[in-house]
Amino acid sequence: MSTIYIMWLRQVKRYLRSRSRIIGALGQPILYLLALGYGLGQVFARAGQGNYMEFLVPGVIGMSVLFTSMFNGVEMIWDRQFGFLKETMVAPVSRFNIMLGRVLGGATVATFQGLIVFILSFGVGFRMPMSHPAGYVLSGVFFMFLMALFFTALGTGIASLLTDFQGFQLIMSFVVMPTYFLSGAIFPLDHLPSLMSYITRIDPLTYGVDGLRGSLILSNHFSLGLDFLIMAALCLLMLSVGSYLFSQIEV
């Protein structure tokens, strides 16, 4: 447990010390909120879909969590190139505990980043329903953490197979953007063409964003129970895969 805590604390401290990283990671979510929220708001309302800003905010929070989580893999490659990972791996501790501590730290950081976007969204017009149960906000935070846990484990697993930043960035461009745009984060999942509907259903982010949307604005495509079960199962699966890939790293 001490190994897990040490790795978790290191990830969190690294994040808190980098103010430029915190501020820089907010640029894209705020741009999406302003450009899409206001730019497509009237179109969305005229289509009878209601307030687009309320619909969009959970998706933008999901985007922030996704990007922050996945790019935690860059830190592992950095540690690998500069020797810190080797020092950690040769220590007489479980590699699974090392990996789990890194993943939990990265997930905590990504969840915190999602909370910042959530708070800032009120400044651009986001409002939760008046009848919104207070406990559902905690449910939303929990879905943020599940998304963060899954994608941090995925990013760690991919980074375990690579040794250079360029390869990681290239793979991320083929994973992150399709995952985001096909998750229903910026469009409703109702009445999609059959092929598109199938694709969205196999996208892990779909269930995280849907659970977050159900928690924050009480409007979701699936049930919160189904969203939770799928995300929890995916987290367990990816932690298992990620820990196996991490254990195969040669130092």
Mean pLDDT of the chain: 84
pLDDT for 194-216, tens place per residue?
Answer: 899 999 999 999 999 999 999 99
Name the residue with higher pLDDT: 230 or 133: 230
pLDDT for 29-83, tens place per residue?
Answer: 888 888 887 887 777 766 666 788 888 999 999 999 998 898 887 777 777 777 6
pLDDT for 99-138, tens place per residue?
Answer: 888 899 999 999 999 999 999 999 888 888 766 676 778 8
Taking 90 as the threshold, does the pLDDT of residue 234 lie above it? Answer: yes
- Percent of the chain at pLDDT exceeding 90: 35
Global pTM reads 0.91
| pLDDT for the residue 47 | 62
As for how many domains the chain has, the answer is 1
DSSP labels, the chain: -HHHHHHHHHHHHHHHH-HHHHHHHHHHHHHHHHHHHHHTHHHHHHTT---HHHHHHHHHHHHHHHHHHHTHHHHHHHHHHTTHHHHHHTSSS-HHHHHHHHHHHHHHHHHHHHHHHHHHHGGGT----TT--THHHHHHHHHHHHHHHHHHHHHHHHHHT--SHHHHHHHHHHHHHHHHHTTTSSS-STT--HHHHHHHHT-HHHHHHHHHHHHHHS--SS-HHHHHHHHHHHHHHHHHHHHHHHHT---
Instruction: Supply the range of the domain harboring residue 85.
Output: 2-247
